[in-house]
Structure 1
């Protein structure tokens, strides 16, 4: 497994953010320095990530994981990530998508070994990510950013991230959540 030594991280500059969650998963995330952005989520996971229209947005992350995300229309988007995890994700129509991962994550929405999974998206972001029904899934990333994600029922999930960005996010009911961040946050 590839290991990374990242000495430049700091709570205030590298991925420093504030999340304010209210009602039906409305939230605002403000990331400073490394990748400034604002996300406002309202109602059934509809959201606007500053830039334009129904969720067109551009996120530019440099150094650690450079990428650009451009979202247009109804969650159609293209993500191009270079450096550590180079990949391209193209989402069309109502979030049906295919993922072409190159270099570190070589695959086509079905990643084997390190990030083995399959995603099927249908109507309003209901999806299944192999492992079990209605989007229960487990993702295990080690070394650079170890974490486990378990999603159950209606987008309830628990994310436990250790090492580089150690934190725990617990989402219950209809995406109301609390985040307990340790170590880096």
Structure 2
């Protein structure tokens, strides 16, 4: 388990934005030829299929941006869809959904982090999440006023909800609860 913990930052680095071909209505990922598409199994769900699971709106927030990408880097494939919401200049919430061939390693790390925090009472802002469709861990950095909830959904997808400018983890938990995690878990 300590080996998983030591790899957790590296595994979560895979969730960093910037992998693949972004889609902000200007760029498009390269489309495979018909013969490639017919013979190659899709290791990841295409980002445009992940995007419908992002919240369309958050009450009190302005939709700032939506991005997505799907790419293959050697043996590693990654698809991600992300939506950012802002409230004024000092508050922000991002929701990112990731599907990757590194999913097995990331799943182990998320499950281990949630299990390690299992003894925390539900009233603890960093108590882990054990919902029907998801398991995850929550972090808060008071000095930066940033919170994050990292959820493993359907033993495959990673949903990361991050906030900036809030005094705790209530907002990331609320936003995570509003996502159709059960529907996402069924996506293949």
State the TM-score, normalizing by the size of structure 1. 0.27
- Structure in which a larger fraction of residues adopt helix: 2
- Structure in which a larger fraction of residues adopt strand: 1
Higher relative contact order (CA 8 A, sep 6+): 2
